[in-house]
Structure 1
Amino acid sequence: MAEKTALISLNMGGPDRPESVAPFLRNLFSDRELIRLPGGAWLQRPFARLMARLRAPKARRAYEAIGGASPLRIWTECQTRAIGRLLGEEWRTAVIMRYWEPRAKEVLTHLRREGVKRAMVLSLYPHFTAATSGSSINDFCRHAVRFCPELDYRLIHDWFDWPPFLDALAHLVREALARFDGEQRHRVTLLFSAHALPEKLILEGDPYLDQVRTTMRGVLERLPEYRSRSRLAFQSRSGPVRWIGPSVTEALDTLVDEGVREVLVVPVSFVSDHVETLHEIDQGYRDYALRRGMTRFERVAAFNDDPGFIRAMASLVASRVPASWRDSRQNENGAPCQGTP
């Protein structure tokens, strides 16, 4: 590839210091693709300010419990650089965060100055939903038109059923199961945890729930002995809307009532550690489960810089590079600029 080519990863972002928490939340609640209130943008803005003000103290305490800041940017940059190294030394790498720095305008302006002409754009959300990955993709597209209009790019919207990804996740589940002794491994239940989504989006046809279930089935195909001892639940609800369920706490209540005392949580929406894994699962849900009578609560490690995950993503990106970028022939299969698969 003679033209300068970049791998651009898209992710949610997170506050990098305590004073960033409120503006981060304001950016999040201002996103009408995530939470769309009736009344238009004029109502969304005061709603976002109010929600940020109300939620900032609790959120700040959560981040303080994991060191004072989100590690999401650090891990995303680490993953992207590692994927880029496997793709080849000619690849540049960059990350764009939806709700915090670095934002699309800054990154695209820099890439244009660097002379980058082509980019593979990888959403680091395994599952597509208009509310998260779709919003990040649309944000990228809007800014690309304005700040890097000559950029030739291809979008990778989702990869929930990419076999190397499922292999890597199943491998981490097996590693976590090894922490249980033989007898416990025959009793433990796998609790798959995905990020919650407003129910309204699913009713409108959003593919997220089906894709999450497909990922869960793919992992269980690789761990067939746990098919009858697995559940799916949802975490990280925020905002005054109806969410898909059951919630993780509801699922834990049900398991306790059924006599389950050992559980292994399998996060399927998060490819690196951040507040949802380090605080919400490791501290909040763990404490809740033990108070409810469970004797063992463990979590599968996040991918972070896991070599299997890095290889899986590199092979995914390589498989989507247009033939025309390699041999100058015209390619007609590039993904269009849109927020749907």
Structure 2
Amino acid sequence: MRDTTHMPVDHPAIPEEKIGVLIANLGTPDNYDYWSMRRYLGEFLSDQRVIDYPKWKWQPILQGIILTIRPFRSGANYKSIWNHELGESPLMTITKAQTAKLRDSLEKRFGDKVMVDFAMRYGNPSTRSKVAEMVKAGCTRILFFPLYPHYSGPTTATANDQFFRALMEETWQPAARTVPAYYDRESYIEALAQSVERVYPSEGQAPDVLVCSYHGVPKRYLTQGDPYHCQCQKTTRLLRERLGWEKDRVVTTFQSKFGPEEWLQPYTVEEVARLAEAGKKRIAVIAPAFSSDCIETLEEINEEIQESFTEAGGEEFTYLPCLNDDDAHIRMMTEIVEENLAGWAD
């Protein structure tokens, strides 16, 4: 509690001291029309953590070609998965639900001492606006929680970058902490395993192969020191061991390749076709790197990747949803927050 005993009567009001917990997701366009998509894609693809080519080389291509054509195609893809009832993307709907459940969970533990909200790296609500709201509400300490189990420059790092840029604009900066990657955390692996076992409660019902499809990054990121590839491989191994499945029945692949250079392989869209051609008629796909279902899972996996499998002779394709606001996921998030608030909140 702030001590206001010696404050002069004309001193500006100071709100009751709180701790902020700000979870962060990738982002979403405000709508699927051309200009909404262009704004969103322009912000996303101008981030040099995402596309690290020199600006003088990349921006003319982006502004002159990509942002002229791609908003139409991406807008159609978003329209096919849009939550028309609420007028927002599924990612927004799910992130709101995660925030509400996490808020309820932490309120039971800390009462009104902790303020919980969410922000998007791209689009709205922006990280800058949410940090400003927390500071105005009296948060002198903020825990920033990027919803990425695996660390990578284009995900965790750019989210943290934006958080620190937001702090730079505050006159009275709060103390800050960021949540590290949790790709090998026992409660995370357990939540993933439970999501598989809900669909396949017995060995006899299990698919021929479980494909763990992670968002891809250029292969050179690995040689530059980005730990993402190794962390993804470890998540797959731990999940397979927890499920007790044979090694060749759980594989790691990478999706969402963009641009001409080589990305981490095998590519999901090609691997599922190879599996079908090799006689694997029943597969399931899970996306451990995504904390919430989004365009890459609901459209890319459920449409493009599924089509690749069936056209190659596959017969049964099952997509296992992300952890979203599943209770096991919220318990894991609560556990992570409590650990990272140590020394700040009792």
Equivalence for 1:162: 185
Matched, 1:100 2:116: no
Equivalence for 1:52: 67
Equivalent position SS for 2:49? coil
Equivalence for 2:307: 287
Please show how residues 1-341 of structure 1 align to structure 2 within 5 Å. Answer: 3-19=17-33, 20-38=36-54, 41-49=55-63, 50-67=65-82, 69-88=88-107, 89-90=111-112, 91-147=114-170, 149-178=172-201, 183-185=204-206, 188-323=208-343, 325-326=344-345
Equivalent position SS for 1:210? helix
Distance 1:101 1:148, change over 3 A: farther
Letter of the 1:132 counterpart = T
Whether the aligned pair in 1 keeps the contact of 2:277 and 2:313 (CA below 8 Å) is: no
Shift of 1:191: 0.5
Task: Provide Cα deviations, 1:316-341, integer angstroms capped at 9, x if missing partner.
Answer: 11111132x136xxxxxxxxxxxxxx
Cα distance between partner residues in 2 of 1:278 and 1:66: 7
Task: Provide Cα deviations, 1:260-294, integer angstroms capped at 9, x if missing partner.
Answer: 10001011111111111111111221222112111
Shift of 1:183: 4.4
Equivalent position SS for 2:251? strand
Q: What stretches of structure 1 of length at least 5 have no aligned partner?
A: 328-341
Shift of 1:132: 1.4
Taking only the aligned residue pairs, the percentage that are identical comes to 28
Cα distance between partner residues in 2 of 1:172 and 1:96: 26
Whether the aligned pair in 2 keeps the contact of 1:169 and 1:219 (CA below 8 Å) is: yes
Cα distance between partner residues in 2 of 1:147 and 1:44: 32
Equivalent position SS for 1:282? helix
Aligned-residue RMSD, C-alpha: 1.9
Moved beyond 6 Å, runs of 4+: none
Whether the aligned pair in 2 keeps the contact of 1:162 and 1:316 (CA below 8 Å) is: no
Letter of the 1:105 counterpart = R
Shift of 1:98: 1.2
TM-score scaled to structure 1, two decimals? 0.89
Letter of the 1:120 counterpart = L
Whether the aligned pair in 2 keeps the contact of 1:126 and 1:160 (CA below 8 Å) is: yes
Which structure has the larger Rg over C-alpha atoms? 2
Cα distance between partner residues in 1 of 2:253 and 2:117: 33
Shift of 1:239: 2.9
Whether the aligned pair in 2 keeps the contact of 1:127 and 1:208 (CA below 8 Å) is: yes
